[in-house]
Each structure stands twice: as structure tokens, then as C-alpha cells.
Structure 1
């Protein structure tokens, strides 16, 4: 009742991995929302700074802020695509499947190399035996 050790519930490795994956996804989505908010604020700022305040009218491109917003929107769409679309297709399951494929390929290659080394060892043993059998035996010393 008054023991100093506290019993804490431990997560098994699979639950821990799922938790870390979910945490990473939440962080990705949070960063995407931040990017969206900064994009909106930045776009409004660019619209206010150019047409309303007249800043940048001496640039060689008229309405440069539109191009800046379009480029930024393109970057945001790439970010959106990466977080929402690519993670669906190339999510945790895809990653696990790819790892399993690579491990299987690696194990197959190791087995092939072991087999090749065993064959080379047999060939070397046969060569040594032939050399030993074909060598003239030393003359017997008579006393």
C-alpha cells in the first residue's frame, strides 16, 4: 500500500510505434495548417503592400505580388499533396512492405553468397587433396 514503486502501464513496441506514427502525422497536419495560415496572412500582406500602399510599383513586372502569391500557392499545394495524398499511398503500410521486400532480397543475396562460399571451399579442399595425393611421398628413412 505504501510501497515506493509505482506500477506504470507499459506500451508494447507495436503500440508505441503506432503512437509515434500518429504523433508524426498530427505534427505534419499541424505544420500544414500553419503553412496555410502564414500563406493567407502573407498573401493579404502582399496585396496590401502593393496596390494599396503603392510599394513596388517601380518594379519591371506590373502586379508582381500576384506572381509571388501564385508561386507561394504552388508551394503550398505541393506541401498539401505531400501530407494528404502521398502519405496515404506511401504511408506506414507501404513503408513496412518495402522494408520487408528489401530484407527478403538481402537474405536471398546472403544465402547465395553463403552457397557460393561453400562451393569455393569444397573446390579448394579438392585441390588441396589432389595436390597432396600427387606429391611424391618422402623416402623412408631406414635405420
Structure 2
């Protein structure tokens, strides 16, 4: 009876974590798509300003601005599709576990050093 509730809560926790990870991934992709739409509209706007309105007619400045913005968009896409796969939730969990293990080992080492420097038998004798 009690084990069923524990298993259910563990499954619910795992299910909740999966839903949170999926929601985060959806937000990343949504922001990337929004970035693309803004990039596309902004690029057209810059071309119109330069070519039709004649602002900065001596130089085609919009090409450099669009290329720089496209470079930033590529970095954003790389982050969403490549980096997040390698450094996703599983990677974060493994890194967290490694750090916790290192901290536990360091605490154990410090406790061992304290016990060798200040053994309890010597402290108890000094109190008597």
C-alpha cells in the first residue's frame, strides 16, 4: 500500500521534470522562430530604407548589418539545436552529481584530517 504511493510520487516527479524540460525546449524553439521572423522583417525594412528611400545611397550599408544579424541568428540556432543537445538537462544532472560527489569527498577528507589532528579520546581525557 505504501510502496504504491512512493512509486507514484516518483513517477509523478519524473513526469513533471520531463514536462518542464519539454516546456523549456518549446520556449527555446519559439524564441528562435521569433528571432527569424524579426530578422526577416528587419532585413526587408533595411533594404527598403537603403534602396527606396535613398538613405545612405552611396554605400550599401544594409548588407553588412544583415550579415552581422544573420551571424547572430546562426549563433542562436546553433545554441538551440546543437549546444542544448550536448548540454541539456541530462548533462546538467550529471555535472551536478559530479560536483556533489566532489564536495562529499572533500568534506570526508576534512573530517578525517580533523579526527587525526584532534582525536576524541584526547578531548575526552582533557575534560576529565
Which bracket does the TM-score occupy, shorter chain normalised?
Answer: 0.7 to 0.9
Output one character per residue of 1:31-59: Cα deviation in whole Å (capped at 9) or x when no partner: 0000000000000111111012211226x
Q: What is the CA–CA distance in structure 2 between the aligned matches of 1:104 and 1:110, rounded to whole Å?
A: 10
The Cα RMSD (Å) is 2.3
Aligned to 1:24: 24
- Corresponding residue pairs, total: 118
Residue segments in structure 1 that go unaligned for 5+ positions in a row: 1-9, 133-143
Report the Cα offset of residue 26 of structure 1.
0.1
Choose from 60, 74, 77 the match for 1:77: 74
How does the TM-score come out when normalised to structure 2?
A: 0.83
Deviation digits for residues 57-88 of structure 1, max 9, x if unmatched? Answer: 26xxx110000000100110110011110001
Structure with higher Rg: it is 1
Q: Aligned pair 1:94/2:91, yes or no?
A: yes
Gaps of 5+ in 2: 1-8
Q: Which has the higher helix share?
A: 2
- State the partner residue of 2:35: 35
TM-score calculated relative to the size of structure 1:
0.75
